Structure 1
Amino acid sequence: MTERIVVLGVSGSGKSLIGKKIADKLGYPFFDGDDFHSQANVEKMRQGTPLTDEDREDWLATLNALLIDNPAAVIACSGLKPEYRTILRKGLDDVTMIYLKGDIDTIWQRHQKRDGHYFNGRDMLESQFATLIEPTESEAFTIDISQNADAVLNQALTLLAHP
């Protein structure tokens, strides 16, 4: 089984929830990518301003360093573009990525139920969907998030155990 795992998807897709559950099941440390954004990035998002590639560069490098420093870990990270996923994998050949795929209406409904998150507004979510270049089959396993969280978790664990 792979020991470095990145759970990908737009904000509200369930990356943190599923990533934490995977980590708990496997006994791995869990890192939520959101916790590693700079204060400037957090402020931009809080104001409803989408991040640029430049804004994300240091953040992605930090997450890559976490993967390098932790031979067994699960990280939740949007990983919206192939270039971002390349940065996450830099210097590593044993990273498995799981992409949580959902449509904007499903994810927006979930967003509206979240309290206290700095990611602000439907415009921000639409910006993530506009930026998103879905991973190919060779980049990541894809799981449809229209099913409940337990089904998503079980599918992820099955894919990790039998790649």
Structure 2
Amino acid sequence: MSTQKIIVMGVSGSGKSLIGARLGRELQLPFYDADDFHTADNIRKMSDGIPLSDQDRAGWLQQLAALLQAEPGLVLACSALKADYRRRLQEASPEVTFLYLCGDFDTIWARLARREDHYFSGHSMLRSQFDQLEEPDHHEAIRISIDQPADSVLEECLRKINNR
């Protein structure tokens, strides 16, 4: 089993969970979705179309940092929208590699509009994520365009991780 620690990041609808789960299988690493670590209050807020604040995310980030410290290797799907969030996760586990799944608003909105049974809802919620997003530079994260089929996104992730 690999000891790599990879965070697949991006706004909701960018494919973090899909690509992260497939990456975990390919690399024989456990996969975790950061959405599973949100409190009931956070989920209720997002279900009601209310964006989370930094204060709402504080405990969530602490849990994710503890997970990164506890696991010898993993793939974690996590929005990690702000540089400060990424810094906090990297402080917990300096060897973590960020994969940034990036795409434009219209492409991602089209994906989200097709989703069923997910608490993240609404055009305004996605807009708030884009507004909060502090895009990582090439030193901070490996950039992967989602403007391609999921198999190609996965192949590019694997290739770029192996070349790093």
Assess same fold via TM > 0.5.
yes
TM value normalised by structure 2: 0.97
Give the CA deviation at 1:91: 3.2
Give the count of matched residue pairs.
163
Q: Does 1:65 find its partner at 2:40?
A: no
The one-letter amino acid paired with 1:7 is V
Q: 1:101 maps to which residue?
A: 102
Percent of counterpart pairs with the same letter?
Answer: 50
Q: CA RMSD in A?
A: 1.0
- Deviation string for 1:94-153 (max 9, x for gaps)? 100000000000000000111100001000000000000101111100001000100000
Structure 1 unaligned residues grouped into runs of 5+: none
Partner SS for 1:142: strand
Contact kept? 1:2, 1:96, Cα under 8 Å: no
**Cα distance change, pair 2–154 in 1 and its aligned pair in 2 (3 A):** farther
Superposed displacement of residue 2, structure 1? 6.4
Name the counterpart of 1:157: 158
The answer to whether the 8 A contact 2:68-2:92 is kept is no
Q: Secondary structure at the match of 1:7?
A: strand
Cα distance in 1 for residues equivalent to 2:139 and 2:59: 25
d(CA) in 2 for partners of 1:86, 1:2? 20
* Structure 2 gap ranges (5+): none
| Equivalent AA in structure 2 for residue 111 of structure 1 | L
Which runs of structure 1 show a deviation greater than 6 angstroms over 4 or more consecutive aligned residues?
none
